[in-house]
Amino acid sequence: MSKGEVSYTTSHRKKALALSIIPGLGQIYNKQILKGVSFLILSAAFILVFKDLLNIGLWGLVTLGEIPFEDHSIFLLVYGILALIVVIFGLGFYLFNLRDAYKVGKKRDTHEPISTMKEQYRNLVDNGFPYLIMSPGFLLLVFVVIFPIIFVILLAFTNYDLYHSPPAKLVDWVGLKNFVEIFKVDMWRQTFFSVLAWTLVWTFVATTFQVALGIFLAIIVNQKDVKGKAIMRTVFILPWAVPAFVSILVFAGMFNESFGAINRDILGFFGIDGLPWMTEPMFTRLALILIQTWLGFPFIFAMVTGVLQSIPQDLYEAATVDGASNLQKFKNITLPLVLFATAPVLITQYTFNFNNFNIIYLFNGGGPAISGQNAGGTDILISWIYRLTMTSAQYSKAATLTMLLSIIVITVAIWQFRRTKSFQEEDMM
Amino acid sequence: MSMKRQKIIRLTLTYLVVLVMFIIILYPLAWIIGSSFNPGQSLSGSSIIPKNATLAHYKELFDMEKSNYVYWYLNSLKVSILTMIFTVILVCLTAYSFSRYRFVGRKNGLVTFLILQMIPNFAALIAIYILATLTKLIDTHLGLILVYVGGQIPMNTWLMKGYLDTIPKELDESAKIDGAGHLRIFFQIVMPLATPIIAVVALFAFIAPFADFIIASILLRTEKNYTLAVGLYDLVAKQFGAEFTTFAAGAVLIAVPIAILFLSFQRFFVSGLTAGGTKG
């Protein structure tokens, strides 16, 4: 029988597929006894082991418990997600079983030889190897990263907070109520938009400052006739070399209003009265931007220095011959080359500062407090979420805000990655 | 002549800027080192160059009965080193299979990793907290390490896959023809060639837990289990003015070794981060 012809004399593939509704039977029908038996045993074990989890989990996921003190809604939610993950894995195996039975059946229909036991083993080793070696990492990822993300997404649609806290109270599904409240209830809306506004200003100003300073310093140190380049480069890297949490805490001490060096030594030296760095939001914000500039410019400096050293000198020589001024050389040669080479990294700097929890929290705990809102004066979205979770137990609202924040980050990131070249490369995927 | 004058002005301005930057960078560092040698607990009346310099605060930190500092230091090293080891092992395996094999689900896996690396892993901190409580992993270093390693996988897998893609496939193909098995190709051919990127991943995986505050502060509950970031913050937040000089000594003891380590590995950092940025 020639290949490509549609009519088969036998219909093993259909029979095998139909029998495979119970995993393994199709394989046995295809005379792959060992494979079929192991499939059968596997699926029986699967049902036996996960029966209870699936039962409780799926029930819990829908109801979130019915009797206070007896049903713990949050545990049920966790079991529910586990059950979901198990179901997905189970379905994957089931589909694989159907596909396998159909494929082997088709081979029999076209009278191709079915692989022997030995070949099956080889196939399993060859095709299974990538799955085998990545399964530890993948499993960890599922439980430590993906599981929490699903949990947060689901939590955003519940009313889990201090007043609906298991075991005394049950948690319920509330649909989009949290999202509606954030945009409708005055207190939430005002806080959300003022925090979002400061987050954006913070991200933009602090990052731009550190990038500009880093590029500027790299360029002036890289001038041919500047002496002592090595020592300059070492010192300019120092703020990066010291762990950020240490520097931030040190700065928190320096900006302290009563004993800090800024008020006492520096401003005192110039005869200026101490400034309210920690109690006046505007001053705290200014301090934060200055500190982030201090912390962040060395990385840009190091990177741009690398780029500058790779720019061929003949470009500048040719420009000199053409009578270009230093400013023209900078504008038309240096800057475009530097920006082109570092653009992707610069964008990651913006996304980093958008979620730069450490500096906000360690410097002044997101404070000072502001009346009329439940976020501090310098809280960015991520530190506000932390505050809602850890101090006021507003879990569902925190989850809702996390979702909004993730949407922003992912949108920006996808936009960025679609522009980078590696994303479009043929073999990347 | 004007050319020469221009040059003098330009160089003077350059050195002036560099000088100002030196002061801005070095002043906080000098201030904290000075504070750590100041006698007394608070800073009132202290100066950068203390009159009666003392090592008392350093001694206090190493007094195991009064201070948990030594525990914090050991905890941080333990967590960072274990995170580094596990991350390197897992990332090598996943990156290798993404780079060298074409299997069902590869494309989806890569896209998933790409999206996961964009979400900071502390975004789901409520969930991490509740899950850790449920699994009794709260206040244990094991829980912390698992979260760190899981969070490191997506980004570093992409980083390493990008590098492995540049190692010619002909190498493993010819080895295969010579009869080398999967494991042999992995260990004896590809991994030795990937040492530079393994170093970068190891460095990142070491630094990230060391510098992390947010996850450690959620998971660790007892003072003896704290890592340095949490412990140091605790030292400051509890009684700010009152124990500042002790804090200063603690800060110096972290900053100096890390800075030295960092400056000697600096090249790796720049190349690694740049590669990570362009490769995605």
Interface pTM (ipTM) of the complex?
0.87
Pair (B114, B225) in one structural domain = yes
| Contacting residues for B96 by C-beta, under 8 A, at least 6 apart | A133, B164, B186, B190
B139 & B204 share domain: yes
The answer on B75 and B30 residing in a single domain is: no
In chain A, where are the structural domains located? 12-155, 178-423
Assess if residue B63 is contained within a domain: no
* Residues forming a β-bridge with A173: A158
Q: What is the SS3 assignment for chain B?
A: CHHHHHHHHHHHHHHHHHHHHHHHHHHHHHHHHHHHHCCCCCCCCCCCCCCCCCCHHHHHHHCCCCCCHHHHHHHHHHHHHHHHHHHHHHHHHHHHHHHHCCCCCHHHHHHHHHHHHHCCHHHHHHHHHHHHHHCCCCCCHHHHHHHHHHHHHHHHHHHHHHHHCCCCHHHHHHHHHCCCCHHHHHHHHHHHHCHHHHHHHHHHHHHHHHHCCHHHHHHCCCHHHCCHHHHHHHHHHHCCHHHHHHHHHHHHHHHHHHHHHHHHHHHHHHHHHHHHHHHC
* Token pair belonging to A323: 């009578």
- For residues B222 and B95, membership in a common domain is answered with yes
pLDDT of residue B278: 43
**CATH code for the domain in which residue B76 is found:** 1.10.3720.10
Regarding whether B102 and B18 lie in a shared domain, the answer is: no
The pLDDT value recorded for residue B239 is: 63
Structural contact between residues A298 and A238, judged by C-beta atoms closer than 8 angstroms: yes
Q: Which range of residues forms the domain containing residue B210?
A: 68-238
Say whether pLDDT at B265 is over 90.
Answer: no
Please report residues of B whose CB lies closer than 8 A to that of A147.
127, 131
Task: Give the residue on B whose Cα is nearest the Cα of A137.
Answer: B90
Q: Which helix (H) or strand (E) holds A18?
A: helix A12-19
Put simply, the chain A residues between 34 and 63 with a CB less than 8 A from any chain B CB are none
Comparing CB atoms, the residue among A146, A223, A241 nearest residue B259 is A241
| Statement to judge: residues B18 and B100 lie in one domain | no
Query: B15 and B140: one domain?
Result: no
- Neighboring chain A residues of B111 at a CB cutoff of 8 Å: 429
Q: Please indicate, yes or no, whether residues B108 and B208 belong to a single structural domain of this protein.
A: yes
Q: Is residue B98 part of a domain?
A: yes
Residue A130 · residue B103 · CB < 8 Å: yes
pLDDT of residue B85: 96
| B189 lies in some domain | yes
At residue B174's C-alpha, the angle toward residues B168 and B180, to 5°, is: 115
What distance in Å separates residue A1's CA from the closest CA in chain B? 30
The answer as to whether B216 is a domain residue is yes
Contact B14 A423 (CB under 8 A): no
Residues B236, A249: C-beta atoms closer than 8 Å: yes
Q: Has residue B259 got a pLDDT over 60?
A: yes
Q: Which residues of B157-168 are buried (b: 16+ CB within 10 A; e: fewer)?
A: bbbbbbbbbebe
| A402:B131 CB<8 A | no
Please give the Cα distance from B92 to B76 (Å, whole number).
Answer: 24
The answer on B200 and B96 residing in a single domain is yes
Contact A107, A114 (CB under 8 A): yes
Does residue B256 form part of some domain?
no
From chain B, the residues in CB contact with A237 under 8 A are 262-263, 266
Same domain, B52 and B72: no
Please tell me if residue A429 touches chain B, with a CB cutoff of 8 Å. Answer: yes
Per-residue pLDDT of chain A (429 residues; tens, 9 = 90+): 444 445 667 788 888 888 888 888 888 888 888 888 888 998 999 889 888 888 888 888 888 878 877 788 888 888 899 899 889 889 988 998 888 888 888 888 888 777 777 777 777 777 888 888 888 999 899 888 888 889 999 999 998 888 888 777 888 888 899 999 999 998 899 999 999 999 999 999 999 999 999 999 999 998 888 888 889 988 999 998 899 999 999 999 888 887 778 888 788 778 777 788 888 889 999 999 999 999 999 989 988 888 888 888 888 888 889 888 888 888 888 888 888 878 777 888 888 898 899 999 999 888 788 877 788 889 999 899 988 888 888 889 999 999 998 888 888 877 776 765 544 444 444
Chain B contact set for A351 (CB, 8 A): 118
Q: Do B78 and B40 have their domain in common?
A: no
Q: In sequence order, what are the residues at sequence separation of 6 or more whose Cβ sits closer than 8 angstroms to the Cβ of residue A370? A: A281, A376, A377
The answer to whether A294 contacts B18, with C-beta atoms less than 8 Å apart, is no
H helical segments located in A265-391: 268-269, 281-309, 313-321, 326-329, 335-354, 357-364, 381-390
Q: In percent, how much of chain A has pLDDT > 70?
A: 95
3-state secondary structure of A3: coil
Residue B244 lies in a domain: no
Percent of chain B exceeding pLDDT 90 equals: 29
- Bridge partners of A134, per DSSP, are none
Same domain, B150 and B23: no
Q: Can you give the pLDDT at residue A421? A: 53
| DSSP β-bridge partners for residue A158 | A173
Question: Chain A residues with CB inside 8 Å of B7's CB?
Answer: 225
Residue the block writes with tokens 């003949």 = A314
Task: Pick A178-423's CATH classification: 3.40.50.300, 1.10.3720.10, 3.30.2130.10, 3.30.1360.10.
Answer: 1.10.3720.10
Q: Residue A173: phi, psi to the nearest 5?
A: -70, 135
Any domain includes B169: yes
Q: Give chain A's mean pLDDT.
A: 85
Residues A206-238: pLDDT tens digits? 999 999 999 999 999 988 888 888 899 889 999
Please give the tally of structural domains in chain B: 2
- Residue that finishes a domain, picked among B14, B29, B56: B56
Q: Tell me, yes or no, whether B246 lies in a domain.
A: no
Cα B75 to Cα A3: distance, rounded to the nearest angstrom:
66
Inter-chain touch A143–B90, beta carbons under 8 Å = no
Among the partner residues A74, A385, A402, nearest to B130 by beta-carbon distance: A74
